[in-house]
Structure 1
Amino acid sequence: MKILDAFPRLLLGACALALPLAGLCAPPSKTQQIERGRYLVTIGGCNDCHTPGYGASGGKVPEKEWLTGDTLGYSGPWGTTYATNLRRLVAGMSEQQWLAMAQHQPMRPPMPWPALRAMSARDLAAVYHFIRWLGPRGGDAPPYLPPGTAPRGPAAVFPAPPGS
């Protein structure tokens, strides 16, 4: 009798852990996707670069200000990059475009693109839905500057690796 009592829990556990990967369970609700996306953005460190003042404030930036891009440059042998306003970027993309970009588009340092590409399509979709839920806000980050071009404004400078 105890095995029969435990069966519903075992089935729910299998659905939560394994069956979604096989497409056999209902997809997550919009609310679940947004919550999962919020969690992934938070633990993935997206705010560290894409939210102005996040690191300096110890993460005490209101969520309504998250992911609006930054004017702090990251300068190194690759040139100078600026963290994109993800909210404006995603506002103009379909989920499929976001997945293609996140999984295949080359990105410049210091973007941790190997970690982004290692995320499952389901997790990337959750990030997409969270950013869409936040809605567009803010302006565009400054454009990329090629090597040898001085950064505009403040920049974190990464020296070339020794021997390069």
Structure 2
Amino acid sequence: MPRVLAADPVSAGRYLVTVGACNDCHTPGWEEGGQVPEADWLVGSPIGWRGPWGTTYPSNLRLIVQSLSEDAFVQVLRTRKERPPMPWMNVNALSEADARAIYRFIHALGPRGEPMPAAVAPGEKPATPYFDFTPQQMERLPVGTSPGTATQRP
């Protein structure tokens, strides 16, 4: 199976976290150009992602990694199927070596921050700020049709 080659597993994990866009959700302020010091990476966010699945929150990965063994973390990355927007189908495809590298990088960062809010059930309004991902004006698009050329369903 393919894997990232780097000078050491921590460097490989840093690279995977960066190009895998983990910081996009799990690091507050990253959306402002990615200029967040590494010491502040992956502490989670209290801003929810709300959609038909309810509201989910980007976890504090630094606390999660400290509470799991490397083997348990790899098992989570390889098998977990949870609610959006976390792209579990992509994460499940990581090689074991890459999953271990991510663990080692996050573990090396050490614990920091607080746990994030628990998920909120569908239909319940979260008490925190949130992004709304509720689909609007849904149309069925025939395969190979772009949104600009679609016809509305009856």
Task: State which of 116, 121, 130 in structure 2 corresponds to 1:146.
Answer: 121
Once the 2 structures are TM-superposed, how far is the Cα of residue 160 of structure 1 from its aligned partner?
3.5
CA distance in 1, matches of 2:129, 2:121: 16
TM-score by length of 2: 0.83
Aligned-CA RMSD value: 2.2
Seq. identity, %: 45
Once the 2 structures are TM-superposed, how far is the Cα of residue 130 of structure 1 from its aligned partner?
0.2
CA distance in 2, matches of 1:148, 1:160: 14
Show structure 1 runs of 4+ deviating over 2 A: 160-163
TM-score by length of 1: 0.78
Aligned to 2:148: none
Unaligned runs of 5+ in 2: 140-154
CA distance in 2, matches of 1:77, 1:111: 14
**Structure with a larger share of its residues in helix:** 1
Once the 2 structures are TM-superposed, how far is the Cα of residue 154 of structure 1 from its aligned partner?
1.4
Whether 2:20 is the aligned partner of 1:47: answer no
Q: What is the letter of the counterpart of residue 81 of structure 1? A: T
- Worse-matched range after superposition: 133-142 or 152-161: 152-161
CA distance in 1, matches of 2:19, 2:25: 13
Whether 2:102 is the aligned partner of 1:127: answer yes
CA distance in 1, matches of 2:118, 2:127: 10
* 2:49 aligned counterpart, secondary structure: strand
CA distance in 1, matches of 2:89, 2:54: 20
Structure of larger gyration radius: 1
Q: C-alpha deviations, 1:18-59, integer Å up to 9, x for none?
A: 9x98xxxxxx89x6000000000000000000001111x200
Q: Provide the aligned length of Structure 1 versus Structure 2.
A: 138
